[in-house]
Structure formats: C-alpha cells, structure tokens
Chain A
Amino acid sequence: MGTIREVKSGKKSLKKDYVAIMMWFMGRAIQAAASVDRDVRKEFAELPDRFTFDLCVMPDGPHMIVGKDRKGYVRYMGWDTEGKRTNLRIKIKNLEAAILMFTFQESTALATARNRLVVDGEVPHACAAVRILDIVEVYLLPKIIAKLAVKRYPLWSPGRKYIGRVFVYLRTVLGL
C-alpha cells in the first residue's frame, strides 16, 4: 500500500524571468512604435481615452501594462497592476503557453486557436491589441522569425521597414 504525499506548487523562476524580460521589451516597443508608426498610432487613436491593456500570465504574472495617459500619449506602464485600472486583459493561461508564444513556437493566431488565451474585455479592443502586437513584432523581429509570429507578413516600404525599425529599437532601448 503506497502513501499519499502533498506537493505544493513549485516555481519556474528562469522561465518566468525570461517572459518578464520579453514583456518589458515588448511594452517599451509598443510605446516606441506608437510614436513612429502611423498604423499603431491610428489603432490607439480609435481606442477610448485612457485605454489600458494588460498582457499577462495566469495565475499571477508577469504582466505587461500599456495604455494611453491623460494627455493621450501611449506609455508602457510597467508590470505592477497595483492601483491600475485596465480596460482589457489578455491572459495567457499558464507559463508554458507564454514560453511557447515568446519563443515564437506559437504565433498569437495559433495560441488563440489552441485555446491558450482568455480575453477579459471587449472583443473589438482585443482585435486592435493583437493588430498592434503584430506590427510591433514585425518591427522587432527578423523576417524569418516574425513570419512565425504573425499571420501575414506585411509588405512595407523600405523606409518603414528599415528606418522605422531603427527608430523603434532606439526608442525601446532609450525608453522614449
């Protein structure tokens, strides 16, 4: 007769840190792209005032909070949800699913099809958020990887593709 043992849920520190870092980068890149790219600007313009969205991993983080401030500027608002009101939460069901997304083994579309995500908020806002994420991924990633992350790799002018990318990277790194 065997015995029963209780196992408390352990930690996956390395994986969690990796996702946290990728999210930090992504958040700042969204802020950068909002000043550089007209499509990202347009998407945010059509969202309500002070609109904020949180891309996060269940059950408790990491989080990436991005939104429009009082003046309408798009800002990366960090990973702390304390005191922050969000209109939209895109929740990744577990850390492994987040790893699959942030190592580009599953694109956003595939992750959706594979039930890895839960959307808390209005669907039209979620559609806009995913379009923004897609554009930012095209800026950040080399084509060969971006093609795995987005459904249709866009045909951009060389100016947008190369010069835009430089500006997005610069602003992301400098936090502008």
Chain B
Amino acid sequence: MFSPDRYEFFCPVKTNSGSRALEHLPFELDTMNATKPFVITSQKDARRGLVDVIIDAFKDSGVTIGIFDGAPAAPGMKLIKELFTMYRDGGYDSLIAVGGGAVVDTAKILNIAVSGAPEDIERYAGSDLITKPLKPLVLVPTLSGTGYESSRYACIDTLSFSSCFLMPHLVVIDPRMIVFEDVETTAAASLVTLTHAVEVYTGPEKNPLSDSYAYAAIRFVMENLVSVIRDPRDGKGRLALVNAHNAAGCAFSNSTPGMAHRLGKAVGDACQLSWGLCMGILLPHILERQTSEDGYHIPGLLLPLAGFDVYAETPEHMKVQKAIGILYDFQRDLFEASRGAIVRSLKDAEVPEEMLRDIARKAAGRSSTGFDADVSLMVLEQAWKGK
C-alpha cells in the first residue's frame, strides 16, 4: 500500500447518519454548549414538510428553535446582514442549515458574522484567513445539494471563502430528509463527489487519512447512483449517496483541486452547465493522461471502484485500463438509467466546439500545476467526442 513520506490532514466534521439521527440533535447541541439554534432552510424544503420533521425531532427536548425558511437560490450580503440581526436579536447561539447549495453557503457565511461581526465577512473572504473556530454549525443535508456542503468552501455574491473553520461541526444525515429531487441534481452532486474523491485518491497529495474518506465516497457512489437514478424509491441508496457527498467533502477539503475539478468547473461556468455533469464527462479522459511519473496513483483506484474481488483478480499491468474502463461503463449505465439525461460527451451536452480552446487556456492559466493549455485542449476535445 502506498505510504507517503509526509502529509497533513484535518477534518473537524462529526457525522451522524441513520434512523432517527435528528432526534440526537438536542443532545449534540448540548455537548457543543448550544441551547438555542437558528434553523435556515429554503421555502421549497419547508413546503416539502422537512421543517416539520425538524420541529418534531425537537419535541420533548425543552429546546426552543428559530426557523427562517426563506433562503433564496441566490443569496446576497443584504440577506446575510438581515439574518445577522435576527440571530442576534433572538439570542441564538448556533446554526442549523437544512438543505444544500445556497442555503448552506448562507449559513457558513452567516456563521462568520455571528461569530464576530458582519464586517468580518469581507475581511475573511479568501483562503485560510479565518484563524479560530466559529460558532456551532450543524448541517442537515438533503438530496438537493451540490456536493460541496461539508467542504471548506462557500461563496456569496462575488466573494469566495475557503477555510477549515467553515466546515460544519456536525452533519446529521437523516433518511426522512433525503427526499429525491430530480435526476439531474442527484447525478450532479454525486458526480462532483465521485470526481473529488477520485482525484484525492489518485492525486499527488494522496495519504491514508484522506484516502479513507475518499474510499467510502467512491464505493457509495459506484454502488448506489445508478440504482437510485433508476428507482428513486431506493431509500438506502439515497442515504448512501448523501453519506458519499459528506465523505468526499471532507476529503476534498484537504487537498488541492485536481484537473477534473478545474476543467469541469471551467466548462460548466463557460456554458452554463452543472459542474457535476461536466466533471463526470471529463473524469476518465483526464485519468487517461495522468501517469505515475507525474505523481499520480491510478492503479490503486481500481480497488474502490470495483471492490476486493475484481482488484485481486486483475493483473497489475491491467489495473489502470480496467479502472478507466469501469468509469466509461459507469457513464454508459448512468446514461441508460437516466434515459439520456446524463450525457457522456461535451458534444451531447451542447458545448460549442469553438469554445474549447478558450476554456482550456483559461483553466490552465489559473495555476502552475496540472495540465498545460495544450494538454487541457486535447482532453477537452476527446471529451467533446466522447468514448
């Protein structure tokens, strides 16, 4: 097994997952010295009855909660400042973010404000500028997330934040909250998760700690995404997927984003496509270009992708090919299960071929590591055609 010469790893997240997980919240809040949590969620999730589940979970606990269920899809600083006032005036001491995407970003950034002052928000925008723990933040994920909820990242307006102190202290994964949204959202978050976990597991910063989270994430996505897309009633599968999103968020927060992340994001931003869809298309094409000489560890990827038996039976020199082949097969299975909604090439995703050169140049230009513009373009062209 690969053992690196040096590494660092930190994950502040506690994960509670399973039946009646929400009912543990009063106890957990007490251990964090929190007595009055402020719940933030979206109108959509409130209408779906998810807030009622939270209220029910707090029955008999003696804990009073505040609920704000108007978090919009694109929050701004104005909203954060209003929420700050509500939080302070109501005497709250902790946050519970219910949902995904913008709701969670709102909560993370609000947490900066309530742990200090609203002016702190602009001061801490950027990378690793927060220097000490914030107030308790609980995340209750649903299946309407992006895959970034447990991670160190958040953004609002034009500001982006990256800090381990933004990660939730506690993630409560309760089956009652994991309602199926739609094929695209579930697939996008899970493909972001898969991409992040694979890049952690195979990248130059590979280490046994981040591998443990990444391994769990990859196994859960490979074992469950296709069946959940095919039959959203698969409750155990949905629970496994959200577990995967959480684990990958933890792993991803400890390493530098890889090429599949960067190129996927670049294509998505340029063409208004979901990052997950783009990353999912690009991932195997990118792995084909990464070699051990450059510090990548692709053969070992076969283990979480396919399990013990396949890994053990595959000869060493065939492992890379087999692993990448499994990812192409996975694309095909997703395409079929989703009846064509999850496409397998950038062409089918309606990315104009003329844009590829520009995307490649911009993505490569942002950092000195990873592929240069020429290799990026080659990868994009292959991914445009598809397998």
The chain A residues found within 8 Å of chain B, CB to CB, are: 1-12, 15-16, 58-60, 93-97, 100, 114-115
Contacts and interface: CB of A to CB of B under 8 A. Distances in A.
B60 A97 contact: no
B67 A7 contact: yes
B292 interface: no
B105 interface: no
Interface stretch (B19-27, B123-131, B189-197, B345-353): B19-27
A9 B69 contact: no
Q: Is the interface of B mostly helix, strand, loop or mixed?
A: mixed
Given A12-B59, A96-B20, A96-B23, A4 B64 contact: no
Contacts of A7: 55, 58, 64-67
Interface string B23-66: 11011000000000010000100000000000111111111111
Interface size, B (range)? 20 to 34
A100 B64 contact: no
Contacts, number: 79
A6 B60 contact: no
Contact of A2 (B55, B59, B68): B68
A1 B20 contact: no
A94 B18 contact: no
Interface of B: 18-20, 23-24, 26-27, 38, 43, 55-71, 79, 82, 86, 90
Given A4-B66, A10-B56, A95-B23, 7 more contacts: A4-B38, A6-B65, A7-B58, A7-B64, A16-B60, A59-B60, A115-B24
Nearest to A59: B62
A15 B55 CA distance: 16
A121 to B, nearest CB: 18
A94 B82 contact: no
Given A10-B59, A11-B60, A60-B62, A2 B70 contact: yes
Closest 3 CB pairs of A and B: A2-B70, A96-B23, A10-B59
